[in-house]
Amino acid sequence: IDVHHHIFLDALKKVEKNTDVGWITPPENLPWQPSSSIAAMGTMGIQTAFLSPPPFTSAVPSAENRAEVRQLNIYASQLCVAYPGRFGFFAGLPHLDDVQGAISEITFAMDHLAADGIALISSYGEGRWPVRFRAPFIHQQHLSDDSYDPVWDELNRRHAVVFLHGAHTPSSTPYPHPFLGLPITEVPNETYKAAAHLVVTGKKRRFPNVKIILAHLGGSMPFLAPRVAVLSHHMGCPLTPTEILQDFGSFYFETALSSHPTTLAALETFVPVDHILFGSDYPAVNTAMAGWYTKHLEEYYASKPSTLDCILRNNALSLFPRLQKSEIVTVSATSVQAHDTQ
């Protein structure tokens, strides 16, 4: 069961964004179609994939942003209906500065579209303007900013699952090399910063009913959490170092592009195994790239088959009970082609 599987509706927009952030989506994965994911899932041995939007944000709230998010969520829900047992989805939200729009979309997605959870990114706004605009900064807020508390209140009330992905946001310095674009260098740190912000502001404790899955094994978080524990407490965080580490350990983690003996060994000492889920990050990567990490995951837990089963499947079944009722069906070529043309 793959909890990290993107849906790209606009191939041209994705290619343009790739240029900005320093990434090349495998050309065979664009334009994305449901049939692409079905085929890749077959190759990777994935029964069910949870679709989520790419981790981008609009610069500012707008009616167009609301409409674009709504369109994507409706389409994702249609795929879940068309291919029962094969897809779930995490609904996207409009720019969180549009607080009422975000809450309305939570209501619509969860009550009318049967979304399995909500996809959030680490910050909203685009950070730096491109140089051509000759303005150094644009408004940007981190995910646990106080102004977003009404959104968290709603998620907490609903006991929602949140899939949290680092945003493709430029840092204070450009990425260092074409081989080290934002998805490689910045996105893992954005995930860490979002998790750390939730912890040190007390929001992770304030909204305990929200189950947050951190993409990519939490990015750099497992290695930097002890640093936060002592130094943030020194800087005035009222939580003790022990409490800070407890809150970091209460997240869920998924394995996309991160499984390796080094990272898995670190995570094992930090969180219970029932908080680790499987992810692929298809179609941002191809099946060979995703498979490299899955191979390391399977080899690492080769002597612990029950633990491997939990990570690959059973933990997701516990987090998403509806999957236990799903039936696997054979998807006909005709039905796949019909949705490919939508």
DSSP code string of 49-100: EEEE--S---SS--HHHHHHHHHHHHHHHHHHHHSTTTEEEEEP---TTSHH
Percentage of residues in the chain having pLDDT higher than 70:
89
Q: Which residues pair with 89 in a beta bridge?
A: 51
pLDDT tens for 271-322 read 999 999 999 999 999 999 999 999 999 999 999 999 999 999 999 999 998 9
Q: How far apart (Å, rounded) are the C-alpha atoms in residues 1 and 208?
A: 25
Residue 196 has a pLDDT of: 98
* Pairwise CA distance, residues 341 & 181, whole Å: 32
* Nearest Cα to Cα of residue 101 among 145, 142, 70, 59: 70
Residue 129 or residue 28, greater confidence: 28
Tens digits of per-residue pLDDT, 47-100? Answer: 999 999 988 777 689 999 999 999 999 999 999 999 999 999 999 999 999 999
What residue type is 257 in one-letter code? L
Cα→Cα distances 38→5, 63, 326, Å: 11, 33, 17
Q: Is 131's pLDDT higher than 50?
A: no
Identify the band that residue 197 occupies on the pLDDT scale cut at 50, 70 and 90. Answer: very high
Please state, in angstroms and rounded to a whole number, the distance separating the CA atoms of residues 321 and 338. Answer: 29
Q: pLDDT band at residue 138, thresholds of 50, 70 and 90?
A: low
The pTM (predicted TM-score) of the whole model is 0.91
At residue 324, the pLDDT reads 83
DSSP three-state, residue 213 = strand
pLDDT tens per residue across span 213-266: 999 999 999 999 999 999 999 999 999 999 999 999 999 999 999 999 999 999
